[in-house]
Amino acid sequence: MEEESDCRKINNSFLRDHNYATEADIISTVEFNSTGELLATGDKGGRVVVFQREQESKNQPHRRGEYNVYSTFQSHEPEFDYLKSLEIEEKINKIRWLPQQNAAYFLLSTNDKTVKLWKISERDKRPEGYNLKDEDGRIRDPGTITTLRVPVLRPMDLMVEATPRRVFSNAHTYHINSISVNSDYETFMSTDDLRINLWNLEITNRSFNIVDIKPTNMEELTEVITAAEFHPHQCNTFVYSSSKGSIRLCDMRASALCDNHSKFFEEPEDPSNRSFFSEIISSISDVKFSHSGRYLMTRDYLTVKVWDLNMESKPLETYQVHDYLRSKLCSLYENDCIFDKFECVWNGSDSVIMTGSYNNFFRMFDRNTKRDVTLEASRENSKPRAILKPRKVCVGGKRRKDEISVDSLDFSKKILHTAWHPYENIIAVAATNNLYIFQDKVN
Amino acid sequence: MEFKVEAHRIMSISLGKIYNSRVQRGGIKLHKNLLVSLVLRSARQVYLSDFYSGACLNAQSEREGKEWDLIDSEREKFPPATEECNQTEETRQNDQPPINETVEKADDEEVKPDAEHCTPTPEEQSQNSSSDLADRVSSESSVPDAIKQNQESPTDSTNATLGESRQPQKTHVCTTRKRGAEESERDDAPQKRTKVNVTSSNASDDEESEEMDTGNVSNLITIFGSSFSGLLSKDGAKPEAEAQDSDSGSGQICCDQMLKNLNPWSTAIVAF
Cβ contacts below 8 Å, chain A against chain B, sum to 115
CB contact under 8 A, B39 and A333: yes
Burial class (CB in 10 A: 0-12, 13-18, 19+), A269: middle
Average pLDDT, chain B: 50
Number of Cβ atoms within 10 Å of the Cβ of A184: 12
CB contact under 8 A, A175 and B162: no
User: In this predicted structure, which of A83-92, B7-16, B120-129 has the lowest mean pLDDT?
Assistant: B120-129
Give the tens place of pLDDT for each residue, A219-232.
889 999 999 999 99
Please report how many Cα atoms fall inside a 13 Å half-sphere around the Cα of residue A177, on the Cβ side: 27
Residue B192's pLDDT is 42
Rg (CA), chain A: 24
Give the tens place of pLDDT for each residue, A310-321.
999 999 999 999
Q: How confident is the model at residue B176 (pLDDT cuts 50, 70, 90)?
A: very low
Number of residues written out for chain A: 443
Q: Are B59 and B71 in contact (CB under 8 A)?
A: no
Terminal Cα distance for chain A, rounded: 14
Is the complex ipTM more than 0.85?
Answer: yes
Give the tens place of pLDDT for each residue, A332-342.
999 999 999 99
In this predicted model, which residue has the larger pLDDT, A120 or B148? A120
Burial class (CB in 10 A: 0-12, 13-18, 19+), A203: exposed
CB contact under 8 A, A271 and B241: yes
Residue B51's pLDDT is 67
CB contact under 8 A, A333 and B13: yes
Query: Which residue(s) pair with B80 in the sheet?
Result: none
Give the tens place of pLDDT for each residue, A407-426.
889 999 999 999 999 999 99
Chain A CA closest to residue B143: A219
Residue B112's pLDDT is 38
| pLDDT at B83 exceeding the cut of 60 | no
Q: How confident is the model at residue B62 (pLDDT cuts 50, 70, 90)?
A: low
CB contact under 8 A, A283 and B26: no
Query: In this structure, what are the phi and psi dihedrals at residue B249, rounded to the nearest 5 degrees?
Result: 75, 10
Q: Are A217 and A233 in contact (CB under 8 A)?
A: no
Cα B240 from Cα B237, distance rounded (Å): 6
Nearest-CA distance A282 → chain B (Å): 11
Could you say which DSSP state residue A395 is in? -
Give the tens place of pLDDT for each residue, B40-56.
988 888 888 866 666 65
| pLDDT at A366 exceeding the cut of 90 | yes
Give the tens place of pLDDT for each residue, A13-58.
343 344 455 889 999 999 999 999 999 999 999 999 999 999 877 7
The minimal CB distance from B42 to the residues A81, A215, A276 is found for A276
> Would you call A311 an interface residue with chain B, using a CB distance cutoff of 8 Å?
no
Exposure pattern of A329-357 as b/e (b: 16+ CB <10 Å)? bbebbeeebbbbbbbbbbbeebebbbbbb
Identify the H or E element spanning A228.
strand A225-230
Residue A112's pLDDT is 95
Sheet hosting strand A352-356, strand order edge to edge? A344-346, A352-356, A361-366, A372-376
| pLDDT at B171 exceeding the cut of 70 | no
| pLDDT at A259 exceeding the cut of 70 | yes
Instruction: Sort out which chain B residues have CB atoms less than 8 A from A220's CB and list them.
Output: 228-230
| pLDDT at B33 exceeding the cut of 80 | yes
- H helical segments located in A163-298: 278-282
Q: What percentage of chain A has pLDDT greater than the value 90?
A: 72
User: Would residue A89 be called left, alpha or beta, if left means φ above 0 and alpha means ψ between -120 and 50 degrees?
Assistant: beta
> Would you call A220 an interface residue with chain B, using a CB distance cutoff of 8 Å?
yes
Q: What percentage of chain B has pLDDT greater than the value 90?
A: 8
| pLDDT at A110 exceeding the cut of 80 | yes
Give the tens place of pLDDT for each residue, A127-171.
888 888 888 888 888 888 888 999 999 999 989 999 999 999 999
Chain B CA closest to residue A216: B158
- If contacts are CB pairs under 8 Å, which of residues 152-171 in chain B contact chain A? 152-156, 158, 161-162, 165
Q: Are A44 and A24 in contact (CB under 8 A)?
A: yes
| pLDDT at A93 exceeding the cut of 60 | yes
Residue B187's pLDDT is 42
Please report how many Cα atoms fall inside a 13 Å half-sphere around the Cα of residue B182, on the Cβ side: 11
Identify the top-confidence range among A188-202, A254-268, B21-35, B187-201.
Answer: A188-202
Nearest-CA distance A94 → chain B (Å): 16
In this predicted model, which residue has the larger pLDDT, B164 or A64? A64
CB contact under 8 A, A219 and B229: yes
Closest CA to A226 of A210, A246, A208, A207: A246
Mean pLDDT over B174-198 rounds to 40
In this predicted model, which residue has the larger pLDDT, B135 or A37? A37
Q: A23, A276, A328, A334: which to substitute to probe chain B, counting the most B Cβ within 10 Å? A: A276
Mean pLDDT over A208-222 rounds to 94
Query: In this structure, what are the phi and psi dihedrals at residue A379, rounded to the nearest 5 degrees?
Result: -70, -40
